[in-house]
Amino acid sequence: MNVLFLCTGNSCRSIYAEAVFNHLSETRHRAWSGGSHPAGAVNPLTLIWLEKEDVSTRGLASKSWDDLAVTPDVVITVCDDAASEACPLFLGKAVHVHWGVPDPSKAEGSEAEIEATFASAFGALRRRIEAMLALPLDELRSDALQQALEEIHQRASREEPPQGDTP
């Protein structure tokens, strides 16, 4: 299964998701990330946080979805609707799901507050990806997979503290 994590800038959340999915998944499943208007560079704090979590940063780059070498089976947008971000619309036959997560690169405040925002985004995506990888991905039909992925996001969103609150 090929999974594309997509956002506008491809500098933080979609990069997190790509790296974490590939770190946790079996070899027959693979993730990529892309952006509709890539920032051109991965946010340095994203790379620092991945390294802290012992997730490889090898090969990660901010890139356009146009540069994707494979056809995705699943497209997961990670833009934050609550912040009125414009999520890119990927056309194709893939299963489409939205997992809105606040953008840590927009965080302001002290170094500790900014780090907490990056930790929150990382944790939110990791929990969703862990739940996704617990599914029988090779056995689910497209409609059942889409429903399961939407339920993962809804459940996780209910369980997570609002942005800025400490767990």
Q: What is the pLDDT of residues 76-121, one digit of tens each?
A: 999 875 444 555 566 678 899 999 998 898 899 999 999 999 999 9
Q: Are 51 and 57 in contact (CB under 8 A)?
A: yes
Mean of the per-residue pLDDT values of the chain: 88
pLDDT in tens, 136-159: 999 999 999 999 999 999 998 888
Domain boundaries, the chain: 2-159
Q: Can you tell me the distance from the alpha carbon of 50 to that of 54, in angstroms, rounded to the nearest whole number?
A: 6
Q: Which residue has the tokens 């940063």?
A: 57
Cβ density class 71-110: b for 16+ within 10 Å, e for less: ebbbbbbbbbeeeebebbebeeebbbbebbbbbbbebeee
Lowest mean pLDDT among 5-19, 42-56, 80-94: 80-94
The pLDDT > 70 percentage for the chain reads 89
pLDDT value at residue 88: 59
- pTM for the whole structure: 0.89
Q: How far is CA 13 from CA 18, 52, 111, in A?
A: 9, 16, 19
Q: Which residue has the tokens 């994203």?
A: 46
CATH code of domain 2-159 = 3.40.50.2300
Q: Can you tell me the distance from the alpha carbon of 30 to that of 12, in angstroms, rounded to the nearest whole number?
A: 18
30-35: strand order across its sheet? 30-35, 2-7, 74-77, 95-98
Average pLDDT over residues 14-22: 97
